[in-house]
Structure 1
Amino acid sequence: MTLEMVFVAGMIVLMLTLLLFEVIRADFIIFIFLVIFLLSGVITTEQALSGFSNEGMLTVLLLFIVAGAIQKHGIIENFIYGILGKTTSLRLSMVKLLAPISIASGFLNNTPIVVTLTPILRDWARDNGFSPSKILIPLSYATILGGTITMIGTSTNLIVNGLLINAGVEGFSFFTLTVVGLPITIAGLIYILTIGHKILPNTLGAEDTIRKEAKEFLAEATIGQRFEHLNQTIINASKNSLKGIYIIEIIREDGTRIFPVRAETYIKEGDNLIFSATLNRIAEVEKLKGISLETGTNESLEVLQDENHHLVEAVISHNSSLVNKTIRSAEFRSRYNAGVIAVHRNNQRITSRVGDIMLKPGDTLLLLAEDSFVQEHQHSQNFYVVSTVNPPETLIQSNLKGFLALGLLLVMILSVTLGFLSMFEAMLIAVILLFVTRLINWQETLSYIQFDVILLIASAFGIGAAMTQSGLALFLAENMVRFAQPLGILGIIFIVYLATNIFTELITNSAAAVLMFPIAFEIASQLDVDYMGLIITIAIAASCSFITPIGYQTNLIVYGPGGYKFSDYIKVGAPLVLLTMAMTSTIVYLVWY
């Protein structure tokens, strides 16, 4: 190994470590290492910037706009309401639901589909006496599987296509991936509706209600002079006004911190109580005389509380700019015109003041927000809005406009399929027509584009170039071939899939695809075989993340609302990973080799 190769390998390992532990946002991490490779001379300026002008990356950007326009006009939500309705059979409803969702995911970005449908399906399940935990992981998995059907099904497919074009070879056609994606989607849905359905956790009826009510939030309250248990012990107050809450810490007016709080500790005027409780108990505490809930900012709850505000639950995205920031340092109140009343973190009791909580992916925030909050931030990369007590009527949109946007997308796809236009040209025309017909405006466009994904994609091209330029990709390819050659080409396909899938579960699907692309390309060159089979293997493996909630963002979206444990993904997802791995390897071998 050359010195440059060792340097690149060390940087790649460090990058993977930072991605694994989510030190900062994934797009920033990859961009930082792109800059490192540029400044160290591993890649040229042209190579570093190649991703920012790549056709695949620009196509992803345009697709975000088109998908956002369709979602805006409520056509997906209306369709779901239409096919579900009232039912006595959850299995039958799942059959009717998952197939069209998978097909839709082949033509739309799956993240907005899951964001939109999570609160709808959760409420529908509860209204019909079913457990949301039986339907939300299947929702995520169905959209992931459906995304493998076409070239535009996921951003990962478009990234890989862009890498092919960048390498000077023929890219995917619109339906190149269908020969693998469609069979694994069908097989995957059958598994989800049979074995997977039985493995999923089930909390029915009253038990599900208990689960919902028992979700503990961390909250903060200030004791005033009118509090009825002033200068009494904690045990006294806990038997009456403060019954059912767990006081974690008391911060005196002079700054003294009392932790742990003992039964004989006295409550004094000006005390800040840091406590955890269910949503119902927090609401009851807020009504008590002489006690006021804080919002994690310098303003009290009363400042925000009027007829134009409602309670909203929002889940922090794994790509959020709020991750690893405190609520106070992020200036949440002024930034979103919403107060953070409480915070919930799955399977973990938080010990901190609300304003000092370091936000993590998957955290659920209980907000007091304006009526317009859900509409303004439903496309935000910072968090996924999952429920609101009094939701604005976002579904009251023109059905005609929704069908126009969808029809425009279908016409553009048809033009690509027939070879009249490239995917980039078709999406560019579609976006222009959306503006001309006033189906979208410039302000909305910015909210549809997930700039973190765009930065990650553009930066990832340079990382792949560094691996190729330094010879690291060739070195890894040669060693993988040497290891797998006794197993034949089928064994090599299997190992490429396995390596890509492991990367996907640990870091991100886009990063996994970019890291494995040059390796697979070199393997094809070493063996003198068609590169397309191995590249398709990477595209499929990078998307099929089922074992962890962190591997794919749709898994993270349903994590909190479904009340899942980390182990639920392993139990349900592991057999699905093995199924898709076996089918993909076999189909790729039979079709391309």
Structure 2
Amino acid sequence: MSLDLMLVLGLLIAAVAMFSLGRPRADAVGLSMMVALPFTGVIEMREALAGFSNPNIILIAAMFVIGEGLARTGIAKGLGDWLVARGGKSETRLVAMLMLMVGALGSVMYSTGVVAIFIPVALRIAQSTGMSPSQVLMPLSFAALISGMLSLVAAAPNLIVNYELVRTGTEGMHFFTLTPIGLPILLLGVAYMMFARRWLKDDRTAGGASGPAAGKQASLGDWVEAYGLADRELRVRVRPGSPLMGQPLSRIQGQLGLEAGLEPPPQPVVLAIERKRPLRAALIAPDAATEIAAGDILLIDSPTPIAEPAARCQALGLEPLPLSGAYFTDRAQEVGMAEVMVPAESRLLGKTLAELRRLSALDLSVIGLRRGQTAHTPEQLREDRLRPGDTLLLVGPWKAISQLRGDRRDLIALNLPKEFDEVLPAARQAPFALLALAVTVGLMVLDLVPAVQAALIGCLLMGLFRVIDLDSAYRAISLRTLVLIAGMLPFGIALERTGGIDLAATTLVALLGEAGPYVILATLYLVTVLIGLFVVAAANAVLVIPVALALAAELGASPYPFAIMVALAASSAFMTPIAPPNAMVATAGNYRFADYLRIGLPFVLIVMSVSLVLVPWLFPFY
């Protein structure tokens, strides 16, 4: 083994270790490898950066934009309402239809976007049928993972595998190359979940009226009780001559003053202001620049006691007003709440609740957090940092809450109270979004233009029809995913030049060559799945596909069955909550790691068995 190969393998082992530990973030690992590989002398810096010029990077970005366009038009609600109406009260029919619908949409969108769209739909199904959410959400995430096996653009590993096939001089895959394999797997997945979901009888949600795991739709009163809001409300009137008059809200909250000894203290938040109008008092959602006027009534959420409240109010010219403990329910027409989930791509990850108490850009305030089945106040978790899957309780005007459905990057609207009576965003552009999608898929299927050009045409049509604007399009693109893939792609070049790929292929053939290509194919699938327990799917495909193609060359066999098996295995992350679709439903479904292992392992073996039959049949070895 040469020194160059040892250096490259050392970096590869370090990358896998960092992926396994989850520190630093996956995209930071990719960026670090991009910088470190040129120091080995195996590749130049321009080659380390070449991943950003890869057409598949642009294609992935374009598909993020198209997926966001489908989400912004309200198509999800229409699908969910149609599903519930057609499925009736039959649990089996509803879960089957949900999985088929997720699989179909996931074939033209990435799985995280599909899960974000359908989590609220799945919870509505659970509420309407009385099912446990745990019996609906895992079928949802499994269907999203399977959707990656249905088309060329459904998952990043497929595009990486296709790129390597083309790069090595082989004709790449077509849009529907994987469909004859993925479709039977999806149907088997539906049948399997009809049986396996019974192992997910929810015995961990008793007493949990605070979140979506509850058997019925929560009301504002439920959340007031679950999060202890009645003991935290403070309502005061601003007297004439108060020193607070004319000051922006950003200064007011700091002057209320909390008890000493809390570091860092979660500041009180002015949730709403009742302001006199000529005809009637109006409730306004304040922001940092809102100036206080005489006669304003401030509704304040203070998770920690205010030091000497009577003296403090007198000094600030405030008049304490009585509260019944049911303020939120009394003002339900103006003040609303929502439980939202923090997704894996959120820019809020790593922030503390003290930093997020006021989401000024959304006109909403964070007043509680649910991790698992336990509701916490900002005071209880003031130093904890947000994790993927955390559920936040937000309060603010209904208009702002209804707008939460338009942006699923940072927060996903998870659970809305019974009082929510606002309609979803207007779906006037939905026909144009579907037209843009049809044009994109049609161009890809007919192979009239390259896939990346077809996707860019779809993006332009989305913009032309005002389905999505440029700012929203840029926000929809997951730079984390792009940087991760571009950063890991140079490993394939480095391992190829140092002989690492040939060495791995030769070793596997020497160990398994006598067993025949079927055993080698099964081993390749299992190795890819095992690596996927620790490494994200895109990086997994980058690492394994060169070895798979080298194996085919060693055996003198067609590269297609080996390449396609890697693509299927990279999407088979059913046994771990690390996979983004599984991570996004973990908290809402109250799943443990053992749940994924118990349900996922048998299905991994089923997928492998089906693949070993279909792949060589459709794509012969010789």
Note closer, same or farther for the CA distance 1:349–1:310 as it changes in structure 2 (3 Å cut).
closer
Q: Which residue in 2 is equivalent to 1:245?
A: none
Partner of 2:147: 146
Judge conservation of contact 1:342–1:354 (CA < 8 Å) in 2. Answer: no
Using the TM superposition, give the Cα deviation of residue 326 of structure 1 relative to its aligned residue in structure 2, in angstroms: 3.4
Distance 1:81 1:114 in 2: 16
DSSP-derived class of the 1:313 partner? strand
Cα distance in 1 for residues equivalent to 2:358 and 2:396: 11
Question: CA deviation digits over 1:311-350, x for unaligned, max 9?
Answer: 3323333344444443446797567654432333338999
Letter in 2 for 1:145: I
Taking the TM superposition and a 5 Å limit, the aligned residue runs for 1:355-504 are: 355-369=382-396, 371-372=399-400, 375=403, 379-389=407-417, 393=422, 395-399=424-428, 401-504=429-532
Residues 1:520 and 2:557 are matched in the alignment: no
Residue in 2 that maps onto 1:91: 92
Q: Where does residue 65 of structure 1 map in the other structure?
A: 65
**Counterpart of 2:303?**
293
Counterpart CA distance in 1 for 2:491 and 2:352 is 31
Residue 36 (structure 2) aligns with: 36
1:10 maps to which residue? 10
Q: Structure 1 length normalisation: TM-score? A: 0.80
Distance 2:361 2:6 in 1: 44
- 8 Å contact from structure 1 (residues 416, 426) kept in 2: yes
Q: Deviations over 1:457-492 (max 9, x none)?
A: 222212322222332222222222222223211111
Corresponding position: 1:557 with 2:558: no
Runs of 5+ consecutive residues of structure 1 not aligned to the other structure = 227-251, 258-269, 273-288, 296-301
Q: Per-residue deviation at 1:392?
A: 8.0
Indicate how the Cα distance of structure 1 residues 468 and 122 shifts in structure 2: closer, same or farther if over 3 A, else same: same
The residue number in structure 2 matching 1:246 is none
**2:533 partner SS:** helix
Per the alignment, do residues 224 and 83 of structure 1 end up closer, same or farther by CA in structure 2, a change over 3 Å counting? closer
Shift of 1:493: 0.7
1:311 to 1:167, Cα distance in 2 relative to 1, 3 A: farther
- Give the drift of 1:3: 1.2
Q: 1:255 maps to what in 2? A: 261
Shift of 1:495: 1.0
Q: Write the mapping of 1:529-540 to structure 2, written as runs, cut at 5 A.
A: 529-540=557-568
- Structure 1 residues 311 and 349: alpha-carbon distance in aligned structure 2, compared to 1, 3 A threshold: closer
Structure-2-length-normalised TM-score: 0.76
2:596 is aligned with what amino acid?
Answer: Y
Do structure 1's residue 191 and structure 2's residue 192 form an aligned pair? yes
> Is the 1:490–1:586 contact (alpha carbons within 8 Å) kept by the matching residues of 2?
no
**Aligned residue for 2:245?**
none
Deviation at 1:290, TM superposition (A): 12
Task: Give yes or no for the alignment of 1:341 onto 2:370.
Answer: no
Kindly indicate whether residue 27 of structure 2 is the aligned counterpart of residue 27 of structure 1: yes
Task: Answer yes or no: is the 8 Å Cα contact 1:57–1:159 preserved in 2.
Answer: no
SS at match of 1:179: helix
In structure 1, the residue matched to 2:79 is 79
Name the CA shift for 1:142/1:223 in 2 (closer, same or farther; >3 Å). Answer: closer
**Any conservation in 2 of the 1:362–1:556 contact (CA below 8 Å)?**
yes
Match of 1:260 in 2: none
SS at match of 2:550: helix
User: Which residue matches 1:276?
Assistant: none
Q: 1:291 to 1:541 in 2, by over 3 A?
A: closer
Cα distance per residue 1:178-220 (max 9 Å; x no partner): 2321221222222112x21322224699877596399999999
Give the structure 2 partner of residue 113 of structure 1. 114
CA distance in 1, matches of 2:366, 2:442: 47
Between stretches 24-33 and 119-128, larger displacement belongs to 119-128
Q: Distance in 1 between matches of 2:73 and 2:406?
A: 13
Letter in 1 for 2:261: G
Between structure 1 and structure 2, the one with the greater Rg is 2
Taking the aligned partners of 1:380 and 1:24, their CA distance within structure 2 comes to: 24
